[in-house]
Amino acid sequence: MKPKSPKAFVFYIIATTVLFLFLSTVRDLIIKNKAYFLTEVNPIFQIVYAENSGAAFSMFENFAKYFGYIGIIAVVVFMLCYVYKKILFENKIMIITSVLFTAGVLGNTVERLTLGYVIDYIKLSFINFPVFNLFDVMITISIILYILYVLFGEEFFKRIRKKI
């Protein structure tokens, strides 16, 4: 079976891999080098170290392996199939959304499977909010983009692009 848009699928695979590796490297630089100096006087966020053995916001603790298997099988494989069969290269928003989502899920899933937990390291200083990581940020951004796309269509993003 041929992909709907081979160009879109190849871009998706390469961009997801690059983003996953980049975010993994950033995490390692922040945590292993203890880059806490970034937040000494920062009123917005702090760099901390937290091990999350649960799902979102530490729910379902100690079920990390199960979430890891579900994540890699259900979500990543679904996204691969979805992009392979449905996404055209011309639909940039859906490609970007898919890349952000898959890289985020893949990052958290790899950590769950290899470590048994997800490393969270960003703590907002101005609000009481759970510690999170950049993979979580990518998932959240992708979901917001997808909701905007479903509600307002591609024209919404074209209008924004024209204003920028």
pLDDT value at position 71? 65
Give the model's pLDDT for residue 13. 97
Find where tokens 């796309």 sit.
149
Burial class, 105, CB count within 10 angstroms (exposed 0-12 / middle 13-18 / buried 19+):
buried
- Mean pLDDT, residues 19-38: 81
What is the rounded CA–CA span in Å between residue 7 and residue 87?
A: 10
Residue 136 a catalytic site member: yes
Has residue 14 got a pLDDT over 70?
Answer: yes
Statement: residue 113 has pLDDT above 60 = yes
pLDDT of residue 11: 97
One of 27, 30, 83, 120 is an active-site residue; which one?
120
Could you give the angle at the alpha carbon of 84 between the alpha carbons of 83 and 89, nearest 5°? 65
Confidence (pTM): 0.84
pLDDT classification of 145: cutoffs 50, 70, 90: very high
Higher pLDDT, 68 or 22: 22
Give the residue ranges of DSSP H helices in the chain: 6-32, 64-70, 77-86, 92-115, 134-163
* Per-residue pLDDT at 90 exceeds 60: yes
Between 67 and 160, name the one with better pLDDT: 160
Closest CA to 97 of 36, 49, 63, 147: 147
Q: Which of 136, 138, 139, 142 is catalytic?
A: 136
Does 65 have pLDDT greater than 80? no
- For residue 120, the one-letter residue type is D
Reply yes or no on whether 28 is catalytic: no
Comparing CA positions, the residue from 70, 75, 69, 123 lying closest to residue 100 is: 75
Amino acid at 70: I
Across 60-80, average pLDDT: 71
pLDDT for 109 equals: 85
- CA distances, 66 to each of 43, 98, 127, 130 (Å): 37, 23, 31, 22
Cβ–Cβ < 8 Å for 113, 76: no
